[in-house]
Amino acid sequence: MKFLLLAGFLALSMAAAPSARADDCEGKLTAQEQATYASLPPADQQTLMNFKMRNGSPASCEFRAGLLDMLGNDEPAKRPEAFHYLLENTLVRQK
């Protein structure tokens, strides 16, 4: 009986883990912002999702959407270059 309870708990925790890690901002982005996000390389997508504000809190959905709006003005092939320019020259580096 303990084994079944443990197996059930593990199954539930494994099922809930991906949804808990999923970024809740996806539903708040417009179709154009989602397309811009999808055009970025996976490493840049990860960097964007891991942004933190100066106080160490995670970046808001609105902040990420604003960055995606700015990147959406560039051609898809130049978006990674524009993103790296923002990272290196505009945004505050975190240590």
HSE toward the beta carbon, residue 55, CA cutoff 13 A: 3
d(CA 94, CA 68): 20
Q: What is the pLDDT of residues 69-88, one digit of tens each?
A: 999 999 999 999 999 998 88
Cβ contacts of 93 within 8 Å, gap of 6 or more: none
CA neighbor of 68 nearest in space, from 39, 91, 89, 27: 39
Q: What is the pLDDT of residues 14-37, one digit of tens each?
A: 444 333 334 578 788 999 999 999
Q: What is this structure's pTM?
A: 0.68
Q: Is 39 helix (H, G, I), strand (E, B) or coil?
A: helix
Q: What is the pLDDT of residues 33-73, one digit of tens each?
A: 999 999 999 999 999 988 888 888 888 999 999 999 999 99
Whole-number pLDDT of residue 53: 82
Record the tokens describing residue 36, joined without a space: 């811009």
Distance separating the N- and C-terminal Cα atoms of the chain: 49
